[in-house]
Structure 1
């Protein structure tokens, strides 16, 4: 573990070249009793797809390694691109409990930042999940910088050039810090010191039905240094209408490091997906929860032909030269997230 703050590092954007994608395989039936087997099948499909573009590194108990290999092989994945680690987790949301990687400005060396993770304010067990960044640093032999602030990967979005977006409802929530909220100034200071960002844009809150209290990765995502996809809602009666409208208006005032405005690509939210007899009455489905790979983008779809197709087309336009792969995410979103939520990218 490295002492103090990282010097001369930055938080790279997801659209920059990647070394690997990290996943935490569904291995704890208690965390998803109704969807456990469906989720494993879905992970087999997703891991196989990733393996055709880059390495996929998987946290999973030793007992399930053989089945994971079989599942990836069944889905015609490339097993030579798969690294399995005996890292046991409580849940599958590697974007949030996984290592947040930073990159040295001169040498290009990659290191790990290890934040506190408490399952979005103690909503679920998290003792194992919170050990993953340390274990990743150990197997990768990387420097690791720790912070006692609670930050999840899905709560921050960057353009790789010093600009970071987040939501107050998550990072300033007292549930992230044992009942006592961090101030905005404290949080900004820590984010800047740990991640090398220079400018932080705060939105108030996130979308309805989100266990995380409102992660940014369901709302606004960078597709280039100076361009974002922003989710919008046209139905005025929808609970997301006001929240997304406010965020969309706020984006007009955001500037990149060189003072230029952002290009804003609007995508309409999927129709509300309701769940009966479930802890979430409304599921946090969003097309913004896509996963960027080297030469490909995996796009979540929700069985809504017209809206799915428009979202696929718009995302494809944002990533010329990358293949667009659509993944049905209804089972995933039942558990509270989609493609981006389960994957943490490791930069080259």
Structure 2
């Protein structure tokens, strides 16, 4: 029987969580020449969330665990808090070696059973966004390894799927992009209808909404978590480019037009809140996928990437209006985005039961 038939579903990120899951960054090739610069903002991300929920981090072994702890202790944010030890009590390490740090995509998809309140994990196939960055054998088995560690049942659909390519309202609606899920470098043997059936069966949803393309610089072929995110059961924020000469302008206008025509599982239209884009972030002549939509929702905070841009404060203000019961916190992601992702790409939530 499928997870859906058994009563399982994938909760929305804004629902109550038990933990934040991460895979400690260590791959120099993902941040060539500047991996050392990411540990300060990354550590702040961890400690901000550890103030109110568990943070579980995959590391290769004791040496990486010690380096991670040292990074946390020496971070700027650690020096600004008086309760560092109590924050670190909420951080737990698991000896699960990984190839890279993008836990949203290689990490476990946690499901919850509506009736029994049991948890389970989906271990989708993972091929580093269409085979772009081998090797990925260690990342591919992370969900099953976590399932063993937590004593949870694991479902194996047998197809490629990444957590950053799907977005949920927790009531039966899933939002995704044709650019990513229909890309032939993922599941070339499946058509759109067949992919939709996997989404229904293994995420426990009823209503699949498709928009078009992702932002320029996104090496994932258009992940939804860089463009459109649910902030509650009926509301999405979607990024908009104000500069008509920018390459993202038409792409994002087309997505906005599509969103306005879509309907939730209730038949209602989406409430749509427009979120600005920062000015292009360019490093080493490469346009990076900088987006305020790549935020992580924890139980008490919303951690938003900022880019030393004039629109940072505007984006934070818009998101604070959307998340009235949480504190919206901006953390500088100018160095992290050189890895072509930010806080949402790096993270995966474990729901509470």
Q: TM-score range by the shorter chain?
A: over 0.9
Residue matched to 1:160: 170
Q: Secondary structure at the match of 1:128?
A: helix
* Residues 106 and 5 of structure 1, relative CA distance in 2, 3 Å threshold: closer
TM-score by length of 1: 0.94
- Shift of the 273–33 alpha-carbon distance from structure 1 to 2, 3 Å rule, reads closer
State the partner residue of 1:119.
Answer: 128
- Alpha carbons 1:220, 1:229 under 8 Å: kept: yes
- Partners of 1:5 and 1:221 in 2: how far apart? 24
Instruction: Answer yes or no: is the 8 Å Cα contact 2:278–2:290 preserved in 1.
Output: yes
Q: Is the 8 A contact 1:25 1:40 kept in 2?
A: no
Report the Cα distance in structure 1 between the residues aligned to 2:323 and 2:52, rounded to whole angstroms. Answer: 15
2:228 to 220, 234, 250: 220
Q: Are the aligned partners of 1:175 and 1:181 in contact in 2 as well (CA < 8 Å)?
A: no
Q: Matched residues in 2 for 1:45 and 1:112: separation?
A: 28
Structure 2: runs of 5 or more not aligned: none
2:284 to 276, 280, 298: 276
2:315 corresponding residue in structure 1: 311
Of the three residues 290, 296, 299, the one matched with 1:294 is 299
Alignment match, 1:340: 344
Equivalent residue for 2:36? Answer: 37
Q: Given the alignment of the two structures, is residue 10 of structure 1 paired with residue 16 of structure 2, yes or no? A: no
Matching of residues 119-198 of structure 1 within 5 Å: 119-125=128-134, 126-177=136-187, 180-198=188-206
Cα offset for 1:4? 5.0
Asked if 1:231 is matched to 2:230, the reply is no
8 Å Cα contact 2:31/2:339 also seen in 1: yes
Cα distance in 2 for partners of 1:212, 1:320 equals 31
> 1:321: Cα distance to partner?
2.1
For the residues of structure 2 that align with 1:4 and 1:340, how far apart are their CA atoms? 27
- Please give the alpha-carbon distance, in whole angstroms, between the structure 2 residues aligned to 1:56 and 1:342: 13
- What's the CA shift for 1:256? 2.0
Check if 1:330 corresponds to 2:321. no
* Secondary structure in structure 2 of the residue aligned to 1:66: helix
Which residue pairs with 1:86 in the alignment?
95
CA shift digits 1:169-188 (9 cap, x unpaired): 111111113xx252001100
- Aligned equivalent of 2:27: 28
Cα offset, 1:233, TM superposition:
1.0
Matched position secondary structure for 1:149: coil
Q: Is the 8 A contact 1:316 1:324 kept in 2?
A: yes
Contact 2:178 2:211 in 1 (8 A): yes
| Pairwise CA RMSD | 1.4
Alignment of 1:259-270 (within 5 A): 259-270=267-278
* Among candidates 246, 250, 259, match of residue 242 of structure 1: 250
Alpha-carbon separation, structure 1, partners of 2:27 and 2:223: 24
User: Counterpart of 1:58?
Assistant: 57
Moved over 6 A (4+): none
Aligned to 2:67: 67
User: Could you state the TM-score of these two structures normalised by the residue count of structure 2?
Assistant: 0.93
SS, match of residue 271 in structure 1: coil
Q: In structure 2, how many angstroms separate the alpha carbons of the residues matched to 1:201 and 1:260?
A: 13
Q: 1:105 is matched with which residue?
A: 114
Cα pair 1:48 1:73 within 8 Å, conserved: no
Query: CA offset at residue 48 of structure 1?
Result: 1.4
